[in-house]
Amino acid sequence: MRMPRLFERETVLAPLMLVPVALYMLLLVGFPFLMAFVYSFSNVTVGNPEFHMTGFGNFSAVLRDPVFLKSLLNTCIFTFTSIGLVLVLSNMLTELLMREFRFKWLIRFLIMLPWTAPIALGTIGYLWFLDSVFSPLDWLLRSWGLLGKPQALLGPMSNLYWLGRPGLAMASVIVVHIWRLLPLATMIRIAGMNSIPREVIEAAQVDGAGYYRRLFHIVLPLLLPVISVTVLFSTLFTFTDMTVVWVLTKGGPPDNSTQVLASLAFLKGIQGGDLAQGAAVSLFFFPVLAGLAAVVLRLAKKAVVT
């Protein structure tokens, strides 16, 4: 049976094919976002869907809350430390994986492994790894004499209590988040590297450019669009994600040492029952993140053109 001629026209077919995506965006992204926006200006609670509009009351209440300010600081530390380290580490891994060596496939497979398991499951594995009693990491440190003896480098206690000390807990959530993000960042970088014409690199080599000159004057500028996109997605993803923090520390150790905005929004909105303030916390940085997205996308576009 022939399709109607109407569908042969690009002006009809193209919008039609966009409909599923548009519907998806509208129903599963746009509608919840709109609800969150409305909720943040209301007094809605989990137990009472009927609500009144309260203006900017939730936002001013949230701004006066010391837990919010601490969570904001934690979110910045968590995001920018993770992203900075992911950039450096993914660069190193890319350099390694661009070379030929034995068992390269195995290394690639191991690097991709964090993406094969659900993140919550992987993080639960880390929960055991960092356990206050059974941590195998502590066991290794003890067996190497670095922990658990009066003169030991890391102290006389039998364990480091990774998730019980504010600094170590923050370091732990950052490391696990890096473990989660690194495969994607590395694969994007490898794809970017493969797109750089070999003759450009070879010409620089012939002209006597060393490794660092090639890296900073040729490779990185050419990779800028790819890096921009990686940074954009990783930053947005990290800023709005709570999985690692929630599974490992629930925002603790007290007093909210690793609480981030996303986990605070859940804590206030669902655990605390105040859906309106939870929505206000989650939307607080929407304008900043939206602006950031616009800037990075513009940067990427500009880099492609030049």
**Nearest residue (CB) to another protein, 114 versus 252:** 252
Pick the binder of another protein from 10, 11, 14, 49 (CB under 8 A).
49
3-state SS class at 252: coil
Neighbours of 260 (CB within 10 A): 28
Binding segment for another protein (CB under 8 A), chosen from 43-51, 110-118, 186-194, 293-301, is: 43-51
**Nearest residue (CB) to another protein, 132 versus 205:** 132
* Cα distances (angstroms) measured from residue 55 to each of 37, 52, 132, 236, 280: 11, 9, 45, 27, 11
Binding segment for another protein (CB under 8 A), chosen from 19-27, 188-196, 224-232, 279-287, is: 19-27
**Nearest residue (CB) to another protein, 82 versus 249:** 249
Q: Tokens standing for 146? A: 């670095």
Binding segment for another protein (CB under 8 A), chosen from 95-103, 107-115, 266-274, 293-301, is: 266-274
The residue with tokens 């109607």 is 4
Question: How far is the C-alpha of 227 from the C-alpha of 1, rounded, in Å?
Answer: 48
Q: Alpha helix (H) ranges present in 130-165?
A: 136-143
| CB of 190 closer than 8 Å to CB of 121 | no
Site for another protein in 169-188 (CB under 8 A): 169
**Position 164 contacts another protein (CB under 8 A):** yes
Pick the binder of another protein from 59, 89, 129, 166 (CB under 8 A).
166
**Position 128 contacts another protein (CB under 8 A):** no
Pick the binder of another protein from 33, 59, 61, 297 (CB under 8 A).
61
| CB of 269 closer than 8 Å to CB of 278 | yes
Shortest distance (Å) from residue 35 CB to another protein: 9
Binding segment for another protein (CB under 8 A), chosen from 64-72, 110-118, 140-148, 194-202, is: 64-72
Across 41-73, b (16+ Cβ under 10 Å) vs e yields bbbbbeeeeeeeeeeebbbeebeeeebbebbbe
Neighbours of 174 (CB within 10 A): 19
Half-sphere exposure (Cβ direction) of 75: Cα atoms closer than 13 Å: 25
Shortest distance (Å) from residue 145 CB to another protein: 19
**Position 163 contacts another protein (CB under 8 A):** yes
Pick the binder of another protein from 142, 180, 189, 250 (CB under 8 A).
250
Q: Tokens standing for 128? A: 């055991």
Shortest distance (Å) from residue 34 CB to another protein: 14
**Position 145 contacts another protein (CB under 8 A):** no
Binding segment for another protein (CB under 8 A), chosen from 17-25, 83-91, 95-103, 217-225, is: 17-25
Size of the site for another protein (CB under 8 A): 49
Neighbours of 88 (CB within 10 A): 10
Half-sphere exposure (Cβ direction) of 95: Cα atoms closer than 13 Å: 11
The residue with tokens 């970088």 is 189
Question: How far is the C-alpha of 76 from the C-alpha of 23, rounded, in Å?
Answer: 33
**Position 67 contacts another protein (CB under 8 A):** yes
**Position 272 contacts another protein (CB under 8 A):** yes
**Nearest residue (CB) to another protein, 40 versus 230:** 40
3-state SS class at 15: helix
Give contact residues for another protein (rule: CB under 8 A).
3, 7, 16-17, 19-20, 23, 43, 45-50, 61, 64-67, 127, 131-134, 157, 159, 161-166, 169, 249-256, 267-268, 270-275
